[in-house]
Amino acid sequence: MLLSLAQWLQTLSPEFGFLRIFQYLTFRALMASLTALLLGLAAGPFVIRRLSLLKIGQPVRGYGMETHLSKSGTPTMGGVLILFAIAFSTVLWFDLANRFVWIVLWVTLGFGAIGWVDDWRKVVRKDPEG
């Protein structure tokens, strides 16, 4: 999205020549990584607090080490935060006309959906096996 905006601004005036940096994949990849990191750090505490309030915690098997039992109720479904950060930064920084960007994004979201279903089944059924 930002790449398209930068290219459009460059066609308007030569004063926007500094925006050529958006054409470099390495710059966009670095900025996408930083965007996802900052978004995750900013939204992480809110998401964790919200999951705790909703009591979306993973059940722990009754048999096992005592220290493992203390993890009962730890919020699960944190992958939603990671997927949101990845999807947002991808749409923001990468060339949306490239079909491979969309393929990778949809495959990533598909695997995230599988993880969400697994976590949801653990929470609803109270089954630590998933």
C-alpha pair distances (Å), 128 with each of 11, 57, 58, 117: 57, 10, 7, 13
**4 in any annotated domain:** no
Can you read off the two tokens belonging to residue 97? 């006309």
Claim: this prediction has a pTM higher than 0.75:
yes
Number of Cβ within 10 Å of residue 89's Cβ equals 22
* 2 and 35 Cβ atoms separated by less than 8 Å: no
3-state secondary structure of 55: coil
Question: Mind listing the pLDDT tens digit for each residue in 19-48?
Answer: 889 889 999 999 999 999 999 999 999 998
The string of pLDDT tens digits covering residues 62-106 is 666 666 666 666 777 888 999 999 999 999 999 999 999 999 999
Cβ neighbours around 38 below 10 Å, total: 12
Asked if the structure places residue 3 within a domain, the reply is: no
Domain range for 99 is 24-125
pLDDT of 128: 62
Residue 87 lies in a domain: yes
If one counts the domains in the chain, the total is: 1
Q: Which of 129, 127, 89, 119 is nearest to 105 (CA)?
A: 89
* 93 CB-contact burial (10 Å; exposed 0-12 / middle 13-18 / buried 19+): buried
- Is residue 112 domain-resident? yes
Place of tokens 């491979």: 100
